[in-house]
Structure 1
Amino acid sequence: MLNPAAPSPFLLLGDHAGNLIPRGMADLGLDEGERTRHIAWDIGIAALGTALSERLDATFIHQTYSRLVIDCNRRPGAPDSIPPVSDGTAIALNAALDGAGAAARAEAIHAPYQAAIADDIERRLAAGQETFLIALHSFTPSMRGIDRPWKVGILHDAGDSRFARAMLAFFAQDPDLMAGDNEPYSMDIIDYTIPTHAYERRLPYAEIEIRQDLLADDAGIAAWCDRVEQALAYARREYASL
């Protein structure tokens, strides 16, 4: 957790911000190239979340372990929670994992991450602190040979989606961004973090997806820190008027 107990109304989340693999897992049998490509993490999100945390004086709760170890935006036990194959790359140590091994990963990595989010939300609500859940994600420019034209997408579904829709409206003002409405992914039953923590509590939320080539260097991180800051401020004003 970065900047705990910060005063900002925005609680930043990074389900796939890290690509570490615990000792003893032999790097899951993957070489460095595989461990640093998009299958292992959301490229650029650790840097963007850190920049936004400093800019907004906001808490950033982020996972440091790779989603190839266990995906913290999936329900434990789901078929893609511990993927045996990801974008054509076989992960032999995952394919051979038994139920006890999967449960141990969930207990060691998934549960503490989700508990940290839940605990911080409860602390904030008890203190009467305004809270918007902002999940930061990034996506690869091309998947299975298909180019993705969007530069940013906003994912939303059930619960109080008004804030997410306001963020989408902000990005849609710039046609060059080709802002995606539930693109390149849709928020549905496979997502875990936002549905778990936002829906029942009726907390305003947004899941932001930014194309990874736009977060490839310091200039890109700075530019998107500016854009996201502006979008958050716009959406907060719009949300207050609804």
Structure 2
Amino acid sequence: MVLVCEHASPFIPEVFGRLGLDEESASAHIAWDPGALDVAKAMSEALNAPLVAANYSRLLYDLNRPPEAATAMPERSETYDVPGNRDLDDAAKKERIAALYHPFHALVAATIEDVQKRSGQAPALVTIHSFTPVYFGQKRETELGILFDADDRLAQLMLARAPGFTRLTAEPNQPYSPADGVLHTLEMHGAEKNLPRAMLEIRNDLVATKAAADLVAGELAGLLAETMAIMDLETGRLSRPAPKARAVW
């Protein structure tokens, strides 16, 4: 399989002046998915799977959004204004798209192709995210969301077997759904190649420390490994691990 973490970092280069945000806001959940990279790295190790992870804040460019989406470079995120994204002209937008969006997704595509060549079979594509426990003042009870688009092969198997692998309660298409436009990476790279695919959303207070993230990662890695083994049996394929490599951009 190939793992992707689009919101892995809160980093904003100095040239962007923190996009006009104070230090607290620039490191808050609006800028990245806290805990997601720790989970993704631990899963990568446990599954022997390559990981593509972003090195820039999603406020500069949200790599899980297409260039035409208003939320790709948001002027406002939840209750936070983002002054550095206000009134961007076409040239500034194109510069960010060229510098951030295209190289990242080119690497995702190349990693999928490499795994397919090495293993002789189409890999599963799994994206890893975290979400805030309180959103617009509303508490969220969801612990683990398993999101899917029109292809739910991987997600439904994971949902059915989750209680046997993780203490987190798994829910389908929560706390977001395809209607929220959050499945861009899955659809862009998975639909054309007919890859089994799913998006994992973990409530970030449950992965707030490295120890907690490692624990959740171990549970989810076990769930994914079991799910892929079942899929291989159903399709008559023999399981072969992805190459031990990690592509980080």
Which TM-score applies when normalising by structure 2?
0.88
| C-alpha distance after superposition, 1:16-70 (max 9, x if no partner) | 1111112311010111111111100011011111112222222110111011001
Structure 1 residue 188: Cα displacement: 4.2
Which structure exhibits the higher relative contact order, with contacts defined as CA atoms closer than 8 Å and separated by 6 or more residues? 2
Say which of 91, 94, 106 aligns to 2:85.
94
Paired with 2:134 and 2:160, the residues of 1 have a C-alpha distance of 25
Q: Counterpart of 1:29? A: 20
Indicate the SS of the match to 1:210.
strand
- Residue 136 and residue 100 in structure 1: after superposition, are their counterparts in 2 closer, same or farther (change >3 A)? same
Q: Does 2:108 match 1:117?
A: yes
Indicate the SS of the match to 1:25.
helix
Q: Does 2:54 match 1:63?
A: yes
Say which of 193, 218, 230 aligns to 1:238.
230
Paired with 2:176 and 2:164, the residues of 1 have a C-alpha distance of 21
Structure 1 residue 87: Cα displacement: 1.1
Indicate the SS of the match to 2:9.
coil
Q: Does 2:129 match 1:137?
A: yes
Q: Counterpart of 1:53? A: 44
Q: Is the 8 A contact 1:29 1:93 kept in 2?
A: yes
Paired with 1:14 and 1:44, the residues of 2 have a C-alpha distance of 11
How many residues are aligned here? 232
Q: Counterpart of 2:243? A: none
Paired with 2:10 and 2:56, the residues of 1 have a C-alpha distance of 5
The runs of 5 or more residues in structure 2 that have no matched partner are: 235-249
Q: Counterparts in 2 of 1:110-189, with a 5 A limit?
A: 110-127=101-118, 128-159=120-151, 161-172=152-163, 177-188=168-179
Paired with 2:83 and 2:70, the residues of 1 have a C-alpha distance of 15
Q: Does 2:194 match 1:211?
A: no
Which aligned runs of 4 or more in structure 1 are off by greater than 6 angstroms?
none
Which TM-score applies when normalising by structure 1?
0.90
Q: Counterpart of 1:76? A: 67
- Residue 60 and residue 31 in structure 1: after superposition, are their counterparts in 2 closer, same or farther (change >3 A)? same
| C-alpha distance after superposition, 1:91-144 (max 9, x if no partner) | 111012111101110100011000001111122223314511110001101101
Identical positions, percent: 36
